[in-house]
């Protein structure tokens, strides 16, 4: 009986016509055909997917996306390498000129080295400009003079200078020259 007939029969109350299916009795392991085996595998896979928690499905999607991005990156890299190779072939094929990319690269390196050298010169020039040359103001000159007088008075009172002034001065000069050499 068709589905529609069953529904109409059940709604009318005529339950005598509705067939109840008999449960199958187990008679050993039945042999399945190839089609039935494929269907069984397919249903088993779908039931496993449905039964998985949300976290597992999310991880699966993330892994799939990571693999996809890796593949896209590899394809993009390969495409870029192919384009570079074809561009190099075209440049080499030009008569008279040939491939100028290596020359351009070396010129850029030379330009960068020249810029770095100019910056170094500017930095050194700015350091030199910071040192003030010329006459100091009167207040500064007076302070320097008073400091020099104090140093001279302390030297005059030093016992080595009082005993042998020429020897003390020569020792001082020798020590200063050795300090400058280091």
Cβ atoms of 17 and 9 closer than 8 Å: yes
Cβ neighbours around 168 below 10 Å, total:
16
pLDDT value of residue 98: 66
Helix, strand, coil in percent for the chain, rounding step 5: 75, 0, 25
Greater model confidence, 81 or 12 = 81
Average predicted confidence (pLDDT) for the chain: 77
Would you state the structure tokens that stand for residue 158, as one six-digit string? Answer: 């030093």
**Arithmetic mean of pLDDT, 140-162:** 92
Token look-up 């007088």 returns 149
Q: Is the pLDDT of residue 54 over 80?
A: no
Q: What is the pLDDT of residues 80-92, one digit of tens each?
A: 999 999 988 887 7
Q: Is the pLDDT of residue 67 over 60?
A: yes
Greater model confidence, 45 or 172 = 172
Greater model confidence, 96 or 90 = 90
Greater model confidence, 67 or 24 = 67
97 vs 168: CA distance, rounded Å? 77
Cβ neighbours around 161 below 10 Å, total:
16
Q: Which candidate, 23, 24, 41, places its Cα nearest to that of 32?
A: 41
Q: Is the pLDDT of residue 26 over 50?
A: no
Q: Which candidate, 114, 115, 91, 93, places its Cα nearest to that of 103?
A: 91
Q: Is the pLDDT of residue 122 over 70?
A: yes
Greater model confidence, 20 or 64 = 64
CA end-to-end span of the chain: 115
Greater model confidence, 168 or 102 = 168
Percentage of the chain lying above the pLDDT 90 cut? 25
């Amino acid at each position: 009986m068709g589905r529609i007939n069953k529904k109409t029969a059940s709604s009318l109350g005529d339950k005598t016509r509705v067939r109840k299916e008999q449960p199958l009795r187990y008679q050993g392991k039945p042999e399945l055909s190839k089609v039935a085996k494929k269907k069984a595998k397919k249903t088993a896979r779908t039931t496993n997917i449905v039964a998985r928690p949300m976290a597992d499905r999310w991880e699966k999607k993330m892994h799939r996306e990571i693999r996809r991005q890796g593949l896209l990156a590899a394809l993009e890299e390969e495409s870029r390498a192919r384009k570079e190779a074809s561009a190099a072939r075209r440049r080499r094929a030009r008569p008279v000129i040939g491939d100028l990319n290596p020359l351009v690269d070396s010129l850029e390196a030379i330009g960068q080295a020249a810029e770095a050298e100019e910056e170094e010169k500017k930095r050194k020039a700015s350091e030199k400009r910071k040192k003030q040359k010329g006459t100091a103001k009167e207040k500064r000159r007076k302070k320097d003079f008073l400091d020099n007088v104090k140093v001279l008075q302390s030297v005059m009172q030093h016992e080595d200078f009082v005993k042998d002034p020429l020897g003390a001065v020569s020792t001082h000069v020798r020590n200063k020259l050795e300090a400058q050499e280091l």
